[in-house]
Amino acid sequence: MKKTWNHKGIIEMFEANRNEELAGPMEAYMKNHFPFLGIKSPLRKQLLKELFAEYVLPEPDQLFDEVWKLYELPEREYQYAGIALIEKMRKQLTMEDFPVLRQFIETKSWWDSVDSIAPHFVGQLVKMDRAFGKSVMMEWSRSDNMWTNRSAILHQLKFKHETDTDLLFNIIQQHSASTEFFIQKAIGWALREYAKTNPEIVKAFVEEHPLKPLSKREALKHFG
């Protein structure tokens, strides 16, 4: 019989696998923005798999409370665990969850967490109601927060033939002059990914619109 959900189970499991020797290089890779326990991705995923098998998942209305309990802990692996919990319960997400997902994006922000949340959870919500989702993404695109802007650029990353091209290009044009590295990279990544589905329209867009060299280079990386 499974145990009642308790986020402390994750803490106990992760602490038992703390590895100071691995933590240093992991912190350096993330530019020392966060402390780490030193649990590499394969082991972390295995530990979480075991934990999800051992515990009953929280009730849907308790999901984000439980994620915050993990997100507030200092070591980066706990933010990864919080995102993994959302992934485990992603079918429970509703259109009302845009604001809390934005909070996670703007909290302890770095590319690793943002790029896990935006194309997966945010993109899923946009697909539920394309008109409302578009209005939210335009609002995010106008935000003063760079990571929220990046999320708006990347939310259609996995949409393929379902991509709203007008929305993608509109948001990109809003940020095409940005000097921010993570915005330039996001623009290039979004275009490169969509080029796998519609190469001609991406090539034409890049030729007809001014983009920063990094964005352009990334966008055309797979063209001959």
Judge contact between 67 and 104, C-beta under 8 A.
yes
Q: How many CA atoms does the CB half-sphere of 71 hold within 13 Å?
A: 21
Tens digits of residue pLDDT in 52-63: 999 999 999 999
Cβ burial, residue 42 (10 Å; 0-12/13-18/19+): exposed
Beta pairing partners, 3: 55
User: Which pLDDT value is given to residue 197?
Assistant: 97
Distance CA 145, CA 149 (A): 6
pLDDT-based confidence at residue 169 (cuts at 50, 70, 90): very high
How confident is the model over 98-117, as a mean pLDDT?
98
Distance CA 90, CA 38 (A): 27
Spatial neighbors of 188 by CB under 8 A, at least 6 apart, are 211, 214, 215, 216, 217, 218, 219, 221
Tens digits of residue pLDDT in 16-74: 999 999 999 999 999 999 999 999 999 999 999 999 999 999 999 999 999 999 999 99
pTM summary value: 0.96
User: Which pLDDT value is given to residue 17?
Assistant: 98
- Interaxial angle between packed helices 130-141 and 146-154, expressed in degrees from 0 to 180 and rounded to the nearest 10: 140
The distance from CA 61 to its chain's CA centroid, rounded to whole angstroms, is 22
User: Which pLDDT value is given to residue 224?
Assistant: 67
Mean residue pLDDT across the chain: 97
Which two tokens mark 199? 């190469």
